[in-house]
């Protein structure tokens, strides 16, 4: 299959810039009102309805990690990379039923602020600092780098110029208008991304069908990905050694199974089953970038309903950002013939761009590029807004200047946002010039290093009143020490080893699980020998209580807006997906 040169026509440019004109108008309209308080700027005055909460949450989550990294990873690894998206429904379940009531009744601006109320100030400061660093180097930097690949491919820009342009065009409204501008812009972004993503999937299946329709194309996609065609079987047989650590050429590998062995490079079954505990708790519940939308909800019902809406979007997401990778594999891209695994992984990052070029007609091409840039814009804006919020509220105001005017804090938020954006652009430039790693793999590896200690602490601290501030510090420090040790073993003594232990430790998902288990044990052990916390730190507003009134709020008043009914439907759909991609196919 030849990859033709990317050419944009007049109507493509019209659609692309038209989208940004509408998006900018929305950003201006909802940010035009003067922000009189920190709550207005950082939390949209706590006025967001459920559809904005859910849309903005998912829009912040979808980025080049998905359209560039995840689709590319699906070309290489198959359907298993979708498990991170589908398993999020489990995390959202805990968020909807357990954590939202306590996050909202605590009346905080940020999750670090919540952690101070529950544990102590040191825990708040450590979490805020780590979160800011993670936002710059694990979120914004890689996302801007992924966006630069698009500009390089489309407009033949240098990596440096591409990163600078992406940074400026995606972060501006977050600095100017605050969360309200970002959140309402995200509603349009989600609409365009879903429509555009489904279009690529549909056209890809039509292409594979070769005139016989979409069902014929789907059948061919399944056949090729299961090795039903000679070249595909040969590719799987040869490259299984790169996918399953310690395997031999010709060993079995099922590209259409969500259940993979422990030695899988990126998605062992432990990732599917336990990822909520060592990544999901951090990413969905205490990650300020995500949770800031929940803090900004009108009330408990809109917060819960917003996350219910987000759950259904998560079930749909792999159809948009994973299935195209399976389709592209079936189209037999030329780079799969290379014997260089790193080259294949790097070239797979361009999958979405190439598919748009090959499959999509003029005007629609502009819409799809707008969807891709919308994903970048929404993520950078949300991360930038949350980063400046934590810096201003948790570090500047709480530690340095506690009695300044509201306008002063808003200005600090804007200036710090510009500085963080510039730092992220510099990191993106480094990534674009020195690395060839798959974007999805890079980001997931960073997540599994950062998340486990905080996930363990938050889970135990939420359900067990015995956990105190000293236990929190022991868990965080010890957890990061274990994460660092595992990385040292991966790239040091075990780098060239093919032993069973090495094959289990090397996958970053397994490292995340090991670190989480160690952090849980450490926290429990510390808790049993330290003094029991007292007072507000263990009040019913901060720690789980089965009889707590907050758990019963915002569940809906009619059958059609019942949170329980929609949650049950979502869980049944998730079970159906697991059965389909582990038993049927």
**What is the spatial distance between Cα 584 and Cα 561, in angstroms, rounded to a whole number?**
33
Mean pLDDT of 83-109: 85
Q: Which residue has the higher pLDDT, 555 or 520?
A: 520
List pLDDT tens digits, range 182-205: 888 888 888 888 888 899 999 999
Q: Quick one: pLDDT band at residue 278, thresholds 50, 70, 90?
A: confident
Share of the chain above pLDDT 90, in %: 29
Tell me the pTM. Answer: 0.84
Mean pLDDT of 452-478: 92
Residue 311 domain-assigned? yes
So what's the pLDDT on residue 473?
95
Under DSSP, is residue 304 helix (H, G, I), strand (E, B) or coil? helix
Question: How far apart (Å, rounded) are the C-alpha atoms in residues 379 and 387?
Answer: 12
DSSP code per residue over 465-498: TT--HHHHHHHHHHHHHHHHHHHHHHHTTTTT--
Is residue 3 a part of any domain in this protein? no
SS (H, E, C) 129-160: HHHHHHHHHHHHHHHHHHHHHHHHHHHCCCHH
Q: For residues 224 and 330, is the Cβ–Cβ distance under 8 A?
A: yes
Would you say residue 88 has pLDDT above 80?
yes
What does the alpha-carbon distance between residue 430 and residue 118 come to, in Å, rounded to a whole number? Answer: 38
Residue 1 lies in a domain: no
Domain contains 536: yes
**Range list of H helices, 322-435:** 323-330, 341-348, 351-359, 364-390, 406-434
Q: What is the pLDDT of residues 445-455, one digit of tens each?
A: 888 889 999 99
Please give the structure tokens belonging to residue 10. Answer: 């007049």
Position 314 scores a pLDDT of 93
Residue 2 confidence (pLDDT): 47
Q: Whole-angstrom Cα distance, residue 290 to residue 307?
A: 11
Q: CA-to-CA distance for 114 and 189, rounded, in angstroms?
A: 30
Q: What is the pLDDT of residues 118-175, one digit of tens each?
A: 898 999 999 999 999 988 888 888 888 877 877 777 777 888 888 888 887 777 666 6
- Per-residue pLDDT at 204: 93
Could you give the C-alpha distances from 430 to 75, 142, 331, 376, 421, in angstroms and in order? 25, 10, 32, 18, 15
Residue 189 lies in a domain: yes
* CATH at residue 554: 1.20.1730.10
Q: Do residues 300 and 554 lie in contact, with contact meaning Cβ atoms separated by under 8 Å?
A: yes
Judge residue 230's burial from the number of C-beta atoms within 10 Å of its C-beta, 0-12 exposed, 13-18 middle, 19 or more buried. Answer: exposed
- Please report the pLDDT score of residue 149 as a whole number: 74
The pLDDT-based confidence of 220 (bands split at 50, 70, 90) is very high
Structural domain contains residue 2: no
In a domain, 175, yes or no: yes
What digits encode the pLDDT tens for the residues 106-117?
778 888 988 888
pLDDT band at 432 (very low <50, low <70, confident <90, very high): confident
Number of domains in the chain: 1
Query: 96 near 567, Cβ under 8 Å?
Result: yes
Arithmetic mean of pLDDT over the chain: 85
Residue 224 placed within a domain: yes
Tokens at 64, concatenated: 């080049």
Q: Give the domain extent around 147.
A: 10-584
Average pLDDT over residues 499-523: 89
């Amino acid at each position: 299959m030849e990859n033709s040169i990317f050419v944009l026509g007049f109507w493509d440019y019209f659609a692309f810039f038209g989208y940004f004109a509408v998006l900018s108008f929305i950003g201006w309209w909802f940010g035009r009102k003067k922000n009189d308080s920190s709550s207005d700027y950082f939390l949209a005055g706590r006025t967001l309805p459920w559809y904005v909460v859910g849309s903005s949450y998912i829009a912040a989550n979808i980025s080049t990690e998905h359209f560039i990294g995840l689709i590319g990873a699906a070309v290489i690894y198959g359907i298993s990379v979708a498990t991170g998206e589908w398993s999020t429904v489990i995390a959202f379940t805990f968020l909807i039923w357990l954590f939202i009531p306590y996050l909202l009744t605590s009346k905080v601006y940020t999750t670090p602020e919540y952690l101070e109320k529950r544990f102590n100030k040191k825990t708040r400061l450590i979490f805020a600092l780590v979160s800011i660093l993670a936002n710059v180097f694990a979120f914004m930097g890689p996302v801007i780098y992924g966006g630069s690949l698009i500009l390089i491919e489309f407009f033949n820009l240098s990596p440096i110029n591409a990163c600078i342009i992406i940074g400026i065009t995606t972060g501006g409204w977050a600095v100017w208008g605050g969360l309200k501008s970002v959140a309402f812009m995200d509603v349009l972004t989600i609409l365009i991304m879903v429509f555009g993503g489904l279009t690529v999937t549909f056209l890809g299946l039509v292409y594979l069908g070769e005139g016989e329709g979409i069902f014929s194309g789907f059948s061919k996609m399944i056949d090729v990905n299961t090795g039903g065609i000679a070249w595909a079987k040969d590719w799987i047989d040869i490259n299984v050694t790169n996918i399953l650590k310690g395997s031999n050429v010709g060993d079995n590998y099922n590209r259409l199974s969500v259940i993979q062995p422990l030695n899988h490079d990126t998605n062992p079954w432990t990732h599917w089953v336990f990822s909520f505990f060592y990544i999901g708790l951090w990413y969905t519940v205490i990650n300020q970038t995500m949770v800031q939308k929940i803090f900004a909800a009108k009330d408990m019902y809109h917060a819960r309903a917003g996350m219910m809406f987000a759950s259904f979007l998560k079930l749909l997401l792999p159809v948009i950002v994973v299935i195209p990778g399976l389709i592209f594999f079936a189209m037999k891209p030329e780079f799969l013939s290379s014997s260089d695994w790193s080259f294949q992984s790097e070239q797979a990052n361009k999958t979405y761009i190439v598919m748009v070029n090959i499959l999509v007609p003029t005007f629609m091409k502009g819409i799809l590029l707008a969807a891709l840039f919308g994903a970048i814009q929404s993520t950078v804006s949300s991360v930038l807004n949350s980063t400046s919020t934590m810096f201003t509220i948790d570090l500047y105001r709480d530690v340095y200047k506690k009695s300044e005017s509201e306008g002063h804090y808003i200005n600090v938020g804007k200036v710090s946002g510009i500085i963080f954006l510039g730092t992220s652009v510099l990191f993106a430039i480094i990534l674009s010039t020195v690395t060839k790693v798959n974007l999805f793999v890079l980001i997931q590896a960073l997540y599994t290093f950062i998340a486990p200690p905080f996930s363990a602490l938050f889970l135990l601290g939420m359900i067990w009143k015995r956990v105190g501030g000293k236990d929190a510090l022991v868990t965080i420090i010890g957890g990061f020490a274990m994460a660092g040790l595992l990385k040292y073993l991966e790239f040091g003594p075990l780098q060239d080893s093919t032993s069973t232990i090495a094959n289990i430790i090397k996958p970053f998902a397994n490292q995340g699980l090991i670190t989480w288990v160690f952090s849980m044990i450490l926290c429990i052990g510390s808790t049993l020998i330290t003094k029991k916390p007292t007072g507000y730190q263990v009040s019913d507003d901060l720690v789980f209580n089965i009889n707590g009134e907050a758990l019963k709020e915002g569940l809906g008043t009619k059958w059609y807006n019942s949170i329980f009914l929609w949650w049950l439907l979502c869980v049944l759909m998730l079970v159906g997906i697991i059965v389909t991609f582990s038993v049927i196919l």
